[in-house]
Amino acid sequence: MEMDHKQLGALMAQAVPWVRTVGIEFLVAEPGRVVVALPDHEESRNHVGGPHAAMMFGAGETASGAVAMAEFGEHLGRATPLVARAEIHYRKLALGRLTAEAVLGRTVEEVVAELDAGERPEFPVKVTISNADGVVTGEMTVVWTLKPNK
């Protein structure tokens, strides 16, 4: 499913109300890769003045979900994308506006072949969270599954 970052952003904002609520911005959408921005809002900061850890996690999970939607959206009639598990590492103090870059960790063809074989495929999406200076403040892996619809 080819779509640009504006189309993908509109789709995600419609499907996931949290995306609208926090103002996630979609900057890049290309095959296997999505970049989103998390605006710096005072009401979503932590005790040291940066984005709360939950906000960083949410931005990363949203970027990973956008990859899943962009790459496997055409299969929504037969499978539902769901997070199976996630792990995050907070690397440095995050301050200000952040970006989250998500990259698909398996080929679309491998995942779809497993779905076609009646399996429930899993695929990792690696996410790098950075500040405005390009300093990596967090890294995460979100493992998605495509749960076949009954």
* Predicted local confidence at residue 3, as pLDDT: 74
Give 133's DSSP letter. Answer: T
> Of 57, 64, 53, which Cα lies nearest the Cα of 144?
64
* Predicted local confidence at residue 1, as pLDDT: 52
- Which residues, given as ranges, of the chain have pLDDT below 70? 1-2
* Predicted local confidence at residue 6, as pLDDT: 87
pLDDT tens digits, 60-93: 999 999 999 999 999 999 999 999 999 999 999 9
> Of 97, 88, 105, 104, which Cα lies nearest the Cα of 130?
97
Give 96's DSSP letter. Answer: S
Inter-residue contact 26 to 100 (CB < 8 Å)? no
Inter-residue contact 69 to 8 (CB < 8 Å)? yes
According to CATH, the superfamily of the domain at 5-148 is Hotdog Thioesterase (3.10.129.10)
Element (H, E) at 102: strand 98-104
> How far apart are alpha carbons 85 and 65 in whole angstroms?
12
* Predicted local confidence at residue 140, as pLDDT: 98
> How far apart are alpha carbons 17 and 91 in whole angstroms?
28
